[in-house]
Structure 1
Amino acid sequence: MDIRNIYCVGRNYRLHAEELGNEVPASPMLFTKPTHAIATMDEGKLIIPSSQGAVHYEAELVFAIGRTYEPGMRLEELISHFTVGLDLTLRDVQETIKKKGLPWLPAKGFRNSAVLGRWLAFPGLDEVSAHAFGLRINGAEAQRGEVRDMVFGLQQLIDYTGRMYGLAAGDLIYTGTPAGVDALNEGDELEVWWNEETLGRATVRMEA
């Protein structure tokens, strides 16, 4: 897949916003990552920084856009594939730049911070919504989420992003993470899943 723009939605699960002491936004809160941040969970190593403080995992449903957005289009017309990914965050860096009112790029856009599992053909919102997704670390459940728990639904996110910034084939939308985020450690075995089907595995390797 030729990836173009990577849009990410912040604070889209109420319990996650609360666990970090953040207010739930009144409208979708979007930020972007560079395409150089893409990493795939293909049984290999996931290399993350070791010298910038804690690196937090955030498991998210990720949707791939298959055509150009036009007002009034339904999401089933636009989305071609979906997967479960990880929006990795340098949490200590993020806390520092938030206090200074600076952009989130240093905390969110580093290499390998936009992690992707295996793509599945999009079966429609009803089918995706009928099943949970999540992350296991070292075989234990770390996060579990469902579409119905989103603050802003998928159609809302599509319309907002399409109107404000544009959407076209190759664009991705990371739709936010449920509660349960925490720091990764050297050697952690990661597994993302949807409907109990494994979509990707990787082993954490921390490098300076």
Structure 2
Amino acid sequence: MNREIRNVYCVGRNYRLHAEELGNAVPETPMIFLKPSHAVVPMNGEALQLPLDQGELHYEAELVVRLGRSYERGVKVDECIEAFAFGIDFTLRDVQSVIKQKGLPWTAAKAFKNSAPLTPFLSFAGEAALLNHDFSLRKNEVEVQRGNVKDMIFSLQQIADYIADHYGLGKGDLIFTGTPAGVGPVAKGDVLELRWADEIQGACTIG
């Protein structure tokens, strides 16, 4: 999986209720951060080794899109995205709180190994088609998050335009598009399932 990935862009606070649940202001422009390609691992039912000794570790379920060609301003995003999947942006919440207070980058809280597990990719039929179904996350068989791209603050087009203008966007790049409300902690042994249209797309156990 990793050899096909170039850049892993992530959008912070892209669902209003999620920003509010963490006491954060709703951004006026997309808030972009990066994860290394080594953070991306398949969400295939196996145990994920994660840092559980650095305070609370939170799940953040997200729609993820993959670019199939280089993107330039003026191009429709539907022409550039070739596939979509679902992933978890694992976050060391206590670590993040400290580095935010110090004004430091989020790398230590967001970019550790295995922090971006992904389900298998599905063919992309356009942004409008994504409106037809919700994605959801279950922890130990209990639904904890449910989202739909219609609730995003910034659309896929706005996100792609912003990333392309500021950082560049090309074939093989991934974009984690933000998480809906309901984020929370995980513990060793927890089982997480990502669903699309209530069908299981991928699962993992916290190791």
Q: In which range does the TM-score fall when normalised by the shorter chain?
A: over 0.9
CA-based RMSD of the aligned residues comes to: 0.8
| Cα distance in structure 2, aligned partners of 1:145 and 1:89 | 18
Q: Where does the alignment leave 5 or more consecutive residues of structure 1 unmatched?
A: none
The count of residues paired between Structure 1 and Structure 2 equals: 205
Query: In the alignment, what sits opposite 2:183?
Result: 181
| TM, length-normalised to structure 2 | 0.97
Q: Is the 8 A contact 1:84 1:134 kept in 2?
A: no
Q: Secondary structure at the match of 1:48?
A: coil
The alignment status of 1:196 with 2:190, answered yes or no, reads no
| TM, length-normalised to structure 1 | 0.97
CA positional deviation for 1:66 = 0.6
Q: Secondary structure at the match of 1:130?
A: coil
| Cα distance in structure 1, aligned partners of 2:127 and 2:105 | 32
Instruction: Output the amino acid matched with 2:62.
Output: E
| Cα distance in structure 1, aligned partners of 2:199 and 2:167 | 33
Instruction: Output the amino acid matched with 1:112.
Output: N
Q: Secondary structure at the match of 2:184?
A: coil
Instruction: Output the amino acid matched with 2:88.
Output: L
CA positional deviation for 1:163 = 1.2
Query: In the alignment, what sits opposite 1:48?
Result: 50
Query: In the alignment, what sits opposite 1:77?
Result: 79
**Deviant stretches of 4+, over 2 Å:** none
| Cα distance in structure 2, aligned partners of 1:196 and 1:149 | 18
Q: Secondary structure at the match of 1:200?
A: strand
Query: In the alignment, what sits opposite 2:105?
Result: 103
| Cα distance in structure 2, aligned partners of 1:50 and 1:185 | 7
| Cα distance in structure 2, aligned partners of 1:82 and 1:92 | 30
CA positional deviation for 1:62 = 0.2
Matches within 5 A, 1:153-172: 153-172=155-174
CA positional deviation for 1:54 = 0.7
Between the two proteins, what is the percent identity of the paired residues?
56
CA positional deviation for 1:114 = 1.1
Query: In the alignment, what sits opposite 2:123?
Result: 121
Q: Where does the alignment leave 5 or more consecutive residues of structure 2 unmatched?
A: none
| Cα distance in structure 2, aligned partners of 1:198 and 1:82 | 15
| Cα distance in structure 1, aligned partners of 2:76 and 2:56 | 39
Alpha-carbon displacement from aligned partner over 1:25-49 (angstroms, at most 9, x marks no partner): 1100000001111121111111111
Query: In the alignment, what sits opposite 1:58?
Result: 60
Q: Is the 8 A contact 1:12 1:151 kept in 2?
A: yes
